[in-house]
């Protein structure tokens, strides 16, 4: 996607399974985001269903994590959400922590917390989720019409967040 991020930058992570209909929202949003110039401090990566890889990449030291994901919250399909994660959630009971193909964002953040304790690393200062209410997450390739229609707005939302996160440029005085 874009070049490597400077330490302390922003990681934009597209997550989801493109073989489960609207679960591919994060991956498709990231694909469309690739058509835009991102700040040098931002890195966009398609993680798909590789949650363990996301957790390890976060050990590189990012200030902000923006997750792009299908997010069922009870709204109408295609509804976009901007969620600020205060604290990592808990891993679902009875589920293996390192099942890389079934790790929810909460499980990734919980694993990251464990990895940080073991390595002395620090988790991102801020975690944001740009989520979209799915219509269908059953087997099938392609987004439903309402979710596909929400993708361009999700891209605009991410670009707006990056503008807010970008440190102000130093102004030079002309004598």
| Domain positions in the chain | 10-165
Instruction: Give, for all 175 residues of the chain, the pLDDT tens digit.
Output: 444 444 679 999 998 999 999 999 999 999 999 999 999 999 999 988 877 777 778 778 889 989 999 999 999 999 999 988 765 443 333 333 333 444 455 555 665 565 565 556 677 888 899 999 999 999 999 999 999 999 999 999 999 999 988 765 555 555 5
Helices (H) and strands (E) in the chain, counts: 4, 5
For domain 10-165, the CATH superfamily is HybD-like (3.40.50.1450)
Rounded Cα distance between 132 and 142, Å, is: 15
pTM above 0.85, yes or no: no
pLDDT value, residue 94: 38
- Pair of tokens at residue 16: 């989801």
pLDDT confidence of residue 111: 56
pLDDT value for 120? 60
Name residues whose C-beta falls within 8 Å of residue 150's C-beta, 6 or more positions apart in sequence: 25, 78, 79, 80, 132
DSSP assignment letter at 102: S
pLDDT the model gives residue 114: 58
Count of residues for the chain? 175
């Amino acid at each position: 996607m874009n070049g490597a991020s400077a330490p302390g930058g922003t990681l934009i992570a597209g997550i989801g399974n493109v073989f489960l209909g609207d679960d591919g929202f994060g991956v498709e949003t990231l694909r469309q985001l690739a058509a835009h110039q991102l700040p040098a401090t931002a890195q966009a990566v398609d993680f798909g269903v590789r949650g363990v890889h996301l957790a390890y990449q976060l050990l590189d030291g990012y200030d902000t994590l923006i997750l792009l994901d299908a997010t069922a919250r009870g709204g109408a399909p295609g509804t976009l959400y901007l969620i600020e994660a205060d604290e990592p959630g808990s891993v679902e009971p009875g589920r293996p922590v390192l099942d890389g193909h079934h790790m929810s964002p909460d499980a990734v953040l919980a694993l990251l917390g464990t990895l940080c304790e073991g390595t002395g690393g620090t988790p991102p200062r801020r975690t944001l989720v740009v989520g979209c209410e799915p219509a269908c997450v059953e087997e099938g390739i392609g987004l439903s019409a309402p979710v596909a229609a929400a993708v361009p707005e999700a891209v605009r939302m991410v670009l707006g967040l990056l503008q807010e996160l970008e440190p102000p440029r130093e102004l030079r005085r002309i004598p």
